[in-house]
Structure 1
Amino acid sequence: MKQYNILFLCTHNSARSIIGEALSSTHPSGKFVGYSAGSSPGTSVNPIAADLAKEMGYDSAKLKSKSWDVYGLPDAPKMDFIITVCDQAAGEQCPYWPGQPVTAHWGFPDQSQVQGTDLEKKAAFVSVMNGLEKRINILAAMPLDKLDSMSLKEIHTKA
């Protein structure tokens, strides 16, 4: 079975995009290899996002904030799908992506900005995780070899 590379982009690459990377890489369909990056990556992954990724069985050694520039290099993996998950990254000038990947914006609020108890903060992360999981499930059920950007954007309205 062909696996599809999917890159999740968010400004700081510390929470939403990390969760997207982990969800797609551990998806039961086995159809995806997830990656994540940011336009202005932070220095670390949010601890709640890291805990959720580990609970999914994702390799904690892969949990790093990184610049989206690394995926524009000649030796970088070729992306099939690129999905922005924050409104700020969606509006930024992205680098050139080799191979003309299908792109979409699946915006989610920044759960790392939620104030409150640890339980309230984790609930915000789980809410974003559930939203991403729903969209990834829809994506996995589609005929991936026939998808275009318009189809991928429609997943946002269905989820």
Structure 2
Amino acid sequence: MTTMPDEHERHATITIDQEAGLATSAERLTREFEGTFGRETIDRFLHASYTDLAARATVPTYLPLLTEKFARQRLRALAKVDGMHLTGTPTVLFLCVHNAGRSQMALGFFQHHAGDRAIGWSGGSEPGEQINPVAVQVMAERGIDIAGEFPKPWTDEIVRAADAVITMGCGDACPIFPGKRYEEWTLPDPAGWTPDGMRPVRDEIERRVLNLLAELGVPSRA
């Protein structure tokens, strides 16, 4: 995982329709990052992000859209790392193994309670194929929709741009960069659990997210 994708990196197979979708995404991102990144950099990140996601995608139809979303996150992270986009807004990265349950629930609560007063990202050391449907269900019970999220890997620029990295069970696979705030949340992996089993984990995650926001000086909007 590198900050700048290698221009010779092998790309996943792309259909004509998907290539057209990526070209449209590149146009949008080029306008969005005008004055910060050129088209070559944007194309690199788009194709690298596509490769990362295509390996485990279960619904290829949505790949260009998910790729654009992932590439946008990576480009924003790189801009922050390079000192080109410093807003002072706290940024937190939630990491677990599959980025399908715990880290996605944490991100959902973080975004719900922080609003635009903080930035939240998530990733996995071994991303799964889809968000755990039971996690989606129990979060919906709290009025939080995480169905549109998707498992994705962490990348160097995203970790380096985060002010705090919250890890949940990824162990030695979790990235370590000196000088960053790291916190391990010891929580059971709820993969395969029923809603009744997952709800206590969900509630504990919310409690920890609220404590984290308080420590960061970010008031909860709930």
Aligned residue number for residue 125 of structure 2? 39
What secondary structure is seen at the aligned counterpart in 2 of 1:37?
Answer: strand
Aligned pair in 2 of structure 1 residues 30, 58: CA closer, same or farther (>3 Å)? farther
Cα distance, 1:135 vs. partner?
Answer: 1.2
Aligned residue number for residue 81 of structure 1? 164
Cα distance, 1:33 vs. partner?
Answer: 2.3
**In 2, Cα distance between the equivalents of 1:12 and 1:143?**
26
**In 2, Cα distance between the equivalents of 1:93 and 1:112?**
19
Aligned residue number for residue 21 of structure 1? 107
Aligned residue number for residue 122 of structure 1? 195
* 2:90 and 2:216 in contact (8 A); partners too: no
Larger radius of gyration: 2
* 2:95 and 2:174 in contact (8 A); partners too: no
What secondary structure is seen at the aligned counterpart in 1 of 2:100?
Answer: coil
Cα distance, 1:128 vs. partner?
Answer: 1.1
Write out aligned runs for 1:9-158 (5 A).
9-27=95-113, 31-54=117-140, 55-58=142-145, 60-61=147-148, 63-69=149-155, 72-73=156-157, 78-86=161-169, 89=170, 91-95=171-175, 97=177, 100-114=179-193, 121-142=194-215, 144=217
One-letter amino acid matched to 1:40:
E
**More helix, by proportion:** 2
Aligned pair in 2 of structure 1 residues 81, 23: CA closer, same or farther (>3 Å)? same
CA deviation vs aligned residue, 1:37-89 (integer Å, no higher than 9, x gap): 1111011110121234445434643x1000112xx137x88211111122xx0
* 1:14 and 1:41 in contact (8 A); partners too: yes
User: Sequence identity of aligned pairs in percent?
Assistant: 26
Structure 1: gaps (5+ residues): 115-120, 146-159
Structure 2: gaps (5+ residues): 1-86
One-letter amino acid matched to 1:22:
G
Higher normalized contact order (CA 8 Å, seq sep 6+, divided by chain length): 1
Cα distance, 1:108 vs. partner?
Answer: 0.5
What secondary structure is seen at the aligned counterpart in 1 of 2:161?
Answer: coil
Say what the alpha-carbon RMSD is for the aligned residues. Answer: 2.8
* 2:138 and 2:195 in contact (8 A); partners too: no
**In 2, Cα distance between the equivalents of 1:67 and 1:51?**
23
Cα distance, 1:107 vs. partner?
Answer: 1.1
Cα distance, 1:27 vs. partner?
Answer: 0.8
Range that drifts further, 31-40 or 50-59: 50-59
Aligned residue number for residue 11 of structure 2? none
**In 2, Cα distance between the equivalents of 1:57 and 1:14?**
15
**In 1, Cα distance between the equivalents of 2:192 and 2:146?**
25
* 2:136 and 2:146 in contact (8 A); partners too: no
